[in-house]
Amino acid sequence: MILRVFSEGFRIFFLASCLFALVAMGVWEGYLAVDAMGGIAVLAPAQPPHIWHAHEMIFGYGAAALGGFLLTAVPNWTGGKAAPQRFIGLAFLFWFAGRLAMWDSALLPPFWVAVADLAFLPILALKIAAQLLVRPKPQQLIFLLALALFWSANLFCHLEWLGILSDGVEPGLRAGLLTLIAMIVILGGRVTPGFTRNAMVATGREDRLPVNPRPLAVLSIAPALALPPAVLAGLPEIITGLLAILAGSAAVARLTLWRGGWTVRRPILWTLHLSYGLTGLGLLAYGLSNLNIGSEVAALHLLGIGAVGGMTLSVLSRATLGHTGRPLAAPGPVALAYVLMPLAALARYVGSTMPDWHMQASLIAGGLWIAAFALAFTMLIPAWLLPRVPRAPVGKPTT
């Protein structure tokens, strides 16, 4: 069983991302609770608690979710061999070493913290590049650019902690989150209409299927990918604001063409539509905040919880079920998790726009996040640890 969890990328990295989402948020919730009661909470990392929290949710949780998805999807795209078990195990150890180094950063030299935390993504990128170059396609090679942006954003954080940059953490955290958002704009823009179309066709429907016009796709993807380097370069907020508004507007426009209403009775589909919608709305809110309209903190949490949390939970659950031979229908507790995630985003958004309710809303949002991932983890861990379920013969139900 232990070896099986390293046999496929989605098993160990989706398991790790869910578990890390629970542990990291649990630590943050504990810190907030002590603070709310008037106590003095001290966390182990060298960074201020809110910086450690933001960094680990982006570069800890986000990187694990990316690893699980890319190591699973890329071999399917190219028809090549999946990563061997020894590579998956080694990659996981590098990711885990980064998390330990960040937690113990008060006891370690900043240089070695940086080495440990920055090692995982280059190893992942090299493997993904080797697989993609078997059958290179521009629309797939773009993920190497996104991985480079994501790594560079994390590098900016460490350069400040090393004393090399005076202002690297804030742009690094924003650029890291916005790179994850750009990947969601790209990937979500493929899988959401694609999976919906497949499901509709499977029911015999032949008309009014989802459409995904290329011009709208370009209008959403290009500015979304331009946002992280713009933030790292310190471009004026009017530029980053307009880029975010353009990307968000195009994303929302695309969503209206994907027949989301048809998915109401299919949680494993509507969660993709909802998460993509929150991605578009989050980009709009972020763009407006850069133009001094609304709260930037509220917008960033709408992106972090509603978009990243929602879409990664949606994709990891669907991929786990599909790649282990289980029916592509969300179990009840997982469907409930899909509901809790946008509620967590809403609670945190309210907390950022209503200062008097900030602490209460933050605790509620964290509690909903923990509940969502606890439900998903409990239901999906057998799929990660146990063998694939034999698929039922065509024409017979899958059990």
Main-chain dihedrals φ then ψ at residue 212, nearest 5 degrees: -135, 75
**pLDDT tens digits along 7-20:** 999 999 999 999 99
Which pLDDT does position 399 carry in this prediction? 27
**pLDDT tens digits along 222-243:** 999 999 999 999 999 999 999 9
Which pLDDT does position 394 carry in this prediction? 37
CB-CB contact of 282 with 341 (8 Å): no
CB-CB contact of 258 with 219 (8 Å): no
| Average pLDDT over the chain, rounded to an integer | 93
DSSP SS3 for 239: helix
Q: What DSSP assignment string belongs to 53-102?
A: HHHIIIIIIHHHHHHHHHHHHHHHHHT-PPPPHHHHHHHHHHHHHHHHHH
Which domains, and CATH codes, for the chain? 4-385 (1.20.210.10)
Mean pLDDT to the nearest integer, 27-33: 93
Mean pLDDT to the nearest integer, 166-174: 96
The whole-angstrom separation of Cα 399 and Cα 391 is 8
**pLDDT tens digits along 51-107:** 999 999 999 999 999 999 999 999 888 887 888 999 999 999 999 999 999 999 999
**pLDDT tens digits along 283-320:** 999 999 999 999 999 999 999 999 999 999 999 999 99
The whole-angstrom separation of Cα 373 and Cα 370 is 5
The whole-angstrom separation of Cα 97 and Cα 121 is 12
Closest CA to 344 of 286, 287, 274: 274
**From 37-51, 83-97, 193-207, the region with the lowest mean pLDDT:** 37-51
CB-CB contact of 198 with 318 (8 Å): no
